[in-house]
Structure 1
Amino acid sequence: MNIYKKVFILISILLLIPLLFTNVIQNQYLANLSFKLIQMENYPFVGSYIPFYLFWGSILVIIFLIILFCFILLYPRNKTEVYFSKSKGSLSIKKNAVEQFVSTILTQEPWLKNPKVSVTMKKKKIKIFISCNCSNINSNLVDKTSELSHRIRQEFSTFLGIDDPKQVSVEIKQVSNKKASNPRVI
């Protein structure tokens, strides 16, 4: 789990537990419990601060829930198909087609071993992620990967007729220049 998600969840829990606990104490008369909890104001060290915390904590939780609601409502969805339309017609591209198209380009490169392609699609944007291992090459690996990224973007735009370079992005990650480890014992 991402560190930001963990911090976000922990802060949410720390804000919500006291609010829910005070709600339980205030409404304990509704349940016929065999024990009684003391009133919130009678707790040592925190009893006098609880009303302030309840007020400001409730306001923070309300603001947090409104922001969360807007975020969930407006969050862009991943799609499995993207539509491009021009004056001559429209074209729909599926995620599997993009993955196969990029995989065929990658098989032409002899220095790439075990390429894996993953694609995320937004409304009119395609992001291509490539992870692979590299065989031992003498030339600069950074130049090779940037050249490959440019070539994939170029062939993709030529094949589909996409003029805007912002619509297609290519990232090559986890490129390693390790030799294959052969076992010593036969």
Structure 2
Amino acid sequence: MHLVCITGPPAVGKMTVGRAVCDLTGYRLFHNHLSIEPLLGIFEFGTPSFQRLNGLIRREVIAEALTADLPGLVFTVAVDLDHPGDRTGLRELVAPVERAGAPVDVVELYAPQPVRLAREGRPDRMDHKRSKRDVDWARAHVVDLESRARFSTDPARDGGALLPGHRHLRMDNAHDDARATAERVVAELGLPRR
């Protein structure tokens, strides 16, 4: 199974580009809100219980995707690059794939904050992310998160790799053409087409 991790800040288009990559390849999409939304009905975002269960769900789904013999899985995640726990958590998520000798690639999307704030409230986000339906809150949440976290790499500072030893594509996603971004991902990573 090929694991493609799409990372980047909130509202950069991880789920939308991930869906387009899956449409082109037949891979399956596990976007980060598939584990977040069910837990929000019980636990506050970021609490220890939320974090533990969110990590558990993600690890189990990725590990099970290996045993289910899926051709590929696209997983989306926002990683705070200045929080060692986030980097460690990502390494733990990909560890079963690495142990199986399967490929892991990282696609990092970036776009300016004003572009991303304008995306809050779009139907696709509201359909798949119940917690984003209060658009004013969602925009304020993006600004708040980014005041205390860093979700985009700086090639000079970070060496250009979120997961050393794995390919890392860094792509501008400020435009609104997810299909074009997905086409580039498929081409640059050499992913199989349907």
Pair member with larger Rg: 1
TM-score range, shorter chain: under 0.3
Q: How high is the TM-score relative to the length of structure 1?
A: 0.22
TM-score, structure 2 as length reference:
0.21
> Larger strand proportion, structure 1 or 2?
1
Structure with more relative contact order (C-alpha pairs < 8 Å, separation 6 or more): 2
